[in-house]
C-alpha cells in the first residue's frame, strides 16, 4: 500500500488475452488512434525550467499538429499552434530556442509578440483592411502541474490534469518536482523504432520481464519491483534498493553515491518510482533526479521514444555521480526494451501468432488495452475488418454499445 491510494486488484479469473495482432498493423486504426487516443489526451511537452527566461521557447510535434510553448515578457508560459497565420509556416524551427522580444516567421517575416499577438505583417498595405487583432497565433490548451507542461490539441475525455493526476500529487510534491532543473545540455533523449507504439507500451507496462531481460535493474532492486494499476488510465511501479551491495559496476557505485534525502518519506528514499499516464507517458523519479519519457507515434510502424532528464538544484558531487550512474543503468535498460519491442511487434505479423496469454504480473498490459478498447470498440474484434470499413464499423459499435471484450 502506498500514499497514492489503493490499486485495482488483479481479478481471480480474468481474460488474459491482449489486443488482436491486426490492431498493430492497421493504417485505418492508426488514424482513429491519432484522433481519439493521442490528439485529445494530455501529452507532456517539458517542464517550466526548460524555458526559464522571457523569450525562451520549446516545441512539441504530434501526428501532424505542431505546438509552440513560449515564456512571455510578463513571465507567463503560453502554448500556441506553431503555424504562422499567413501561410502556416513554422513560426519557430527546432526543439527549443530563444528570441529577444518577438518571433519572426521565416517565410514572409510576419512578427508575433511573445504573448502570441501579431505585431505586424510584412508589407501590410498589401493585405487591404486586415485587423492585426484577428491574426494572433492560435492557442493550444495547456496546463502546468508540479512544473510539468501538459498539452492537448483537441478536447477529450480526460479531466483537468490536477484532477487526473491527483493520486500522484503527494509523491510529486515530496520529490519537489516543481523545482526540477534540466539535467544537462544532453538532457533530451530520443530513439526511433520501426514498431507500432503499442508494442513499446506493452513492454513498458509490465515488470514480469525484469528478472530475465534487465540484469542491471534486477541487480539494483531484485524481487522488490512491483506494478500497480489505478483507475483513469494511471499506473504506478516501484522497486526498492539497498539490501545488497550490487554485483555490476554501475549498480555497485550507484548504491555508494545515491543520497537518501531526508525530505522524502521513507518509502521513497531508496526507491525508483514510475508513474504512468494513458496513453503514452511515464514519469520516473529516483532520489537524485527525475525524467519523463513518452512514445510518440509517427506512423503505424514507426515510433519515436522521447524523453527529458532533470536534476534537483544545489546537487553535490556525489549526487551528480549518482545521477550519471542512474542514467547508465536506465539507458542500458532502454536498449534492452527496444529490442523486446521490435520482437514483439514483428510477431504480430506471423501466421503462428495466436494471442497474448498474460500473467497476473502483466495485468498492466491488459489494463492499457482495455482503455484502448473502451475508446475504440472496433479493437474488440478478433479478426481484422476491411481497412475501408474500420472507421464506420467503430462508430456503429460505439453507437450500439456492443460489448465484445
Looking from the CA of 119 toward its CB, the CA atoms found within 13 Å total 12
Please report the DSSP string for 187-249 in residue order. Answer: -EEEEEESS-HHHHHHHHT--TTHHHH-HHHHHHHGGG-EEEEETTTEEEEEEE--SS--SSH
pTM (two decimals) = 0.94
Q: What are the C-alpha distances in Å from 299 to residues 53, 64, 157?
A: 35, 11, 23
Q: Which of 359, 396, 343, 389 is closest to 24 using CA atoms?
A: 343
∠ Cα 347 353 357 (to 5°): 100
Residues comprising the chain, all counted: 405
Q: Are 290 and 47 contacting, i.e. CB atoms less than 8 angstroms apart?
A: no
Distance CA 84, CA 136 (A): 9
Distance CA 115, CA 202 (A): 40
- pLDDT digit of tens for each residue in the chain (405 aa)? 345 678 899 999 999 999 999 999 999 999 999 999 999 999 999 999 999 999 999 999 999 999 999 999 999 999 999 999 999 999 999 999 999 889 999 999 999 999 999 999 888 888 888 888 989 999 999 999 999 999 999 999 999 999 999 999 999 999 999 999 999 766 678 999 999 999 999 999 999 999 999 999 999 998 899 999 999 999 999 999 988 889 999 999 999 999 999 999 999 999 999 999 999 999 999 999 999 999 999 999 999 999 999 999 999 999 999 999 999 999 999 999 999 999 999 998 888 988 999 999 999 999 999 999 999 999 999 999 999 999 999 999 999 885 544
Q: What are the C-alpha distances in Å from 99 to residues 50, 138, 142?
A: 14, 19, 21
Q: Are 36 and 398 contacting, i.e. CB atoms less than 8 angstroms apart?
A: no
Residue environment code for 175-186, b if the CB has 16+ CB neighbours within 10 A, otherwise e: bbbeebbbbeee
Q: Are 210 and 217 contacting, i.e. CB atoms less than 8 angstroms apart?
A: yes
Amino acid at each position: 500500500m502506498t500514499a497514492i491510494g489503493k490499486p485495482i486488484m488483479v481479478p481471480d479469473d480474468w481474460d488474459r488475452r491482449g489486443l488482436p495482432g491486426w490492431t498493430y498493423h492497421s493504417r485505418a486504426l492508426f488514424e482513429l488512434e491519432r484522433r481519439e487516443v493521442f490528439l485529445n489526451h494530455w501529452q507532456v511537452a517539458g517542464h517550466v525550467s526548460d524555458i526559464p527566461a522571457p523569450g525562451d521557447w520549446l516545441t512539441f510535434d504530434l501526428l501532424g499538429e505542431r505546438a509552440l510553448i513560449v515564456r512571455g515578457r510578463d513571465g507567463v508560459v503560453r502554448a500556441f499552434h506553431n503555424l504562422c497565420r499567413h501561410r502556416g509556416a513554422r513560426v519557430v524551427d527546432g526543439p527549443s530556442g530563444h528570441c529577444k522580444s518577438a518571433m519572426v516567421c521565416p517565410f514572409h517575416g510576419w512578427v508575433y509578440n511573445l504573448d502570441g499577438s501579431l505585431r505586424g505583417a510584412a508589407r501590410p498595405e498589401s493585405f487591404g483592411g486586415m485587423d492585426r487583432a484577428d491574426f494572433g497565433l492560435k492557442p493550444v490548451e495547456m496546463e502546468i502541474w508540479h512544473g510539468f507542461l501538459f498539452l492537448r490539441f483537441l478536447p477529450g475525455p480526460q479531466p483537468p490534469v490536477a484532477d487526473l493526476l491527483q493520486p500522484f500529487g503527494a509523491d510529486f510534491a515530496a520529490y519537489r518536482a516543481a523545482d526540477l532543473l534540466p539535467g544537462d545540455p544532453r538532457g533530451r533523449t530520443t530513439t526511433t523504432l520501426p514498431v507500432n507504439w503499442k508494442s513499446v507500451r506493452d513492454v513498458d507496462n509490465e515488470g514480469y520481464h525484469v528478472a530475465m531481460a534487465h540484469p542491471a535493474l534486477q541487480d539494483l532492486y531484485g524481487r522488490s519491483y512491483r506494478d500497480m494499476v489505478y483507475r483513469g488510465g494511471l499506473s504506478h511501479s516501484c522497486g526498492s534498493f539497498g539490501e545488497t551491495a550490487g554485483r555490476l559496476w554501475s549498480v555497485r557505485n550507484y548504491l555508494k553515491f545515491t543520497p537518501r534525502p531526508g525530505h522524502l518519506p521513507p518509502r521513497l528514499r531508496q526507491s525508483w518510482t514510475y508513474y504512468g499516464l494513458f496513453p503514452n507517458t511515464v514519469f520516473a523519479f529516483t532520489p537524485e533526479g527525475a525524467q519523463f519519457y513518452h512514445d510518440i507515434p509517427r506512423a503505424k510502424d514507426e515510433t519515436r521514444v522521447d524523453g527529458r532528464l532533470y536534476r534537483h538544484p544545489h546537487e553535490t558531487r556525489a549526487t551528480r555521480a549518482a545521477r550519471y550512474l542512474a542514467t547508465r543503468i536506465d539507458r542500458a535498460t532502454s536498449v534492452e526494451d527496444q529490442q523486446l519491442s521490435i520482437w514483439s511487434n514483428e510477431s504480430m505479423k506471423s501466421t503462428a501468432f495466436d494471442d497474448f496469454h498474460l500473467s497476473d504480473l502483466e495485468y498492466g498490459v491488459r489494463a492499457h488495452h482495455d482503455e484502448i478498447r473502451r475508446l475504440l470498440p472496433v479493437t474488440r474484434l478478433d479478426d481484422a475488418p476491411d481497412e475501408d470499413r474500420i472507421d464506420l464499423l467503430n462508430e456503429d459499435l460505439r453507437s450500439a454499445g456492443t460489448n465484445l471484450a
